[in-house]
Homo-oligomer: A and B are copies of this chain.
């Protein structure tokens, strides 16, 4: 056995030695049962310290390639499966490709007789070593995590998106706005301006964090919301959801606790679960998260992170008042608990006379160093652009950027250029003004319809912005039963259980009042209320 170690290499000698032995074992050159030279002997032969050989052997043991027998030495282990015999079928004649036979001599090829979709129970013929598997047994191959994943919403959303089969449906379910409210003309105009420009010629890529100019404009926008922010605090994202994913990778260890509003944006829950975090729901009332309970939750659960939607909450439509915001930031800081503020809807403040003041984001509060702020163009312009942003400490931005290198590198330059044009020209402000005025009218229509049609025992939130009205059903009416009935009536919504941390909520439904055509709002709510009334009788 010829081994060569390079003394001048910066690679530790034991790793060089382990690598060379590994290749010989795996290739079959050192076959099952081969006894490795005693450590002292090999060390002497190679002129290295005995520890070097010890460490190399240990590494191979960790990999299961060799095993020691006390007093007898270190041996190459049998190939997995070959040793048990019972579950493997021999394939000594495995067809090598023409001209390729080097290094394979003497190996016993085995495979497990895994039962698969196509080949279950197929008899084994001695002369037919070819297994009957052509199509992989996908269900066996998927990861545990992805098998645990909750898929309930996907089909629903996709059906709504694609228009579904048959008849017209008044859709309060889908989480995106009425396509008629998408500013196609504005988007066309800014897109044409963006792409007619030669400004980005010779600049095919974007920095990971986004184009500098876009970051600067987003920082400026943050300042108008009352958040101290510079370009270096901002990273452009492919939608704010991506920010949750990156933050989880950057901060959450398996087993870490994450606090969320008891009902919340469910892709966030999926993301926390993907990191094997333990999720704890904090109760919510008409003013959002019950921050009076928060200290108890922090003391009990020592959370790593609080994920919250303090403004125009999804799904409950609630907004945390200033007192709660201060308390949340204060408690989190004292427990060194990170806050992820998801402000996807924050721009959609209905405003107007008589309503409460526009809420300042958590990121704009005193001592908000623990806050990582997320927002998006999805709710103000169109989610199709997949452009959002995170605002946080530059340390955080740097870490997220490094992680992002392995995901999508940066947000599409075409989307960035369109958003840049939208912000640069200030055109987005006019559009948002019109949009929120229309949404306020929708809210008023929806609430009036509820007041007119709702049977006793039905209650609802009155949102000050955003998309959602959260309806509490009368005793005895279960959301899923109601949904089944409503579908036959041509109206649909999201049952509360979808958003519930424990997936147990049966008494709430979420109405996205900005999704159906405005003229259908009253009818749709009337249909739902009638269905509820029928079920309470």
Contact with B along A394-410 (1 / 0, CB 8 A): 01100101110111111
In the assembled complex, the Cα of A239 lies from the Cα of B206 at a distance in Å of: 14
In contact, B179 and A203 (Cβ under 8 angstroms): yes
In the assembled complex, the Cα of A201 lies from the Cα of B145 at a distance in Å of: 38
Would you give the shortest CB distance from A56 to chain B, in whole angstroms? Answer: 13
- A42-87 interface (Cβ within 8 A of B): 64-65, 79-82
Q: Across the two chains, which residue of chain B brings its CB closest to A19?
A: B502
In contact, A25 and B300 (Cβ under 8 angstroms): yes
Q: Given A179-B202, A502-B15, are A408 and B406 also a contact pair (CB < 8 Å)?
A: no
In contact, A292 and B103 (Cβ under 8 angstroms): yes
Is A271 part of the binding interface, using a Cβ–Cβ cutoff of 8 Å?
yes
Q: Kindly specify which of A320-328, A453-461, A529-537 makes contact with the partner chain.
A: A320-328
Would you give the shortest CB distance from A183 to chain B, in whole angstroms? Answer: 9
Q: Kindly specify which of A107-115, A164-172, A519-527 makes contact with the partner chain.
A: A107-115
Would you give the shortest CB distance from A173 to chain B, in whole angstroms? Answer: 15
Q: Kindly specify which of A128-136, A213-221, A310-318 makes contact with the partner chain.
A: A128-136
In contact, B179 and A336 (Cβ under 8 angstroms): no
Is A476 part of the binding interface, using a Cβ–Cβ cutoff of 8 Å?
yes
Q: Kindly specify which of A33-41, A352-360, A412-420, A486-494 makes contact with the partner chain.
A: A412-420
Contact with B along A270-311 (1 / 0, CB 8 A): 110010000000010000001111011101111010000000
**What residues on B are CB-neighbors of A324 within 8 Å?**
97, 100
Q: Given A133-B333, A207-B158, A386-B408, are A16 and B504 also a contact pair (CB < 8 Å)?
A: yes
Contact with B along A218-259 (1 / 0, CB 8 A): 000000000000000000001101101100011111000000
In contact, A409 and B146 (Cβ under 8 angstroms): no
Is A3 part of the binding interface, using a Cβ–Cβ cutoff of 8 Å?
no
Q: How many copies does the complex hold?
A: 2
In contact, A271 and B406 (Cβ under 8 angstroms): yes
In contact, A334 and B91 (Cβ under 8 angstroms): yes
In the assembled complex, the Cα of A229 lies from the Cα of B520 at a distance in Å of: 42
Q: Across the two chains, which residue of chain B brings its CB closest to A116?
A: B336
Q: Kindly specify which of A187-195, A425-433, A434-442 makes contact with the partner chain.
A: A187-195
Is A176 part of the binding interface, using a Cβ–Cβ cutoff of 8 Å?
yes
Contact for A291 among B97, B202, B250, B383, CB less than 8 A: B97
Q: Across the two chains, which residue of chain B brings its CB closest to A9?
A: B506
Is A123 part of the binding interface, using a Cβ–Cβ cutoff of 8 Å?
no
**What residues on B are CB-neighbors of A9 within 8 Å?**
478, 504, 506
In the assembled complex, the Cα of A198 lies from the Cα of B185 at a distance in Å of: 9
Is A2 part of the binding interface, using a Cβ–Cβ cutoff of 8 Å?
no
In contact, B393 and A410 (Cβ under 8 angstroms): no
Is A338 part of the binding interface, using a Cβ–Cβ cutoff of 8 Å?
yes
- Name 10 interchain pairs, CB-CB below 8 A, sorted by A: A23-B293, A80-B299, A100-B324, A107-B295, A138-B393, A143-B249, A146-B399, A192-B196, A241-B407, A267-B406
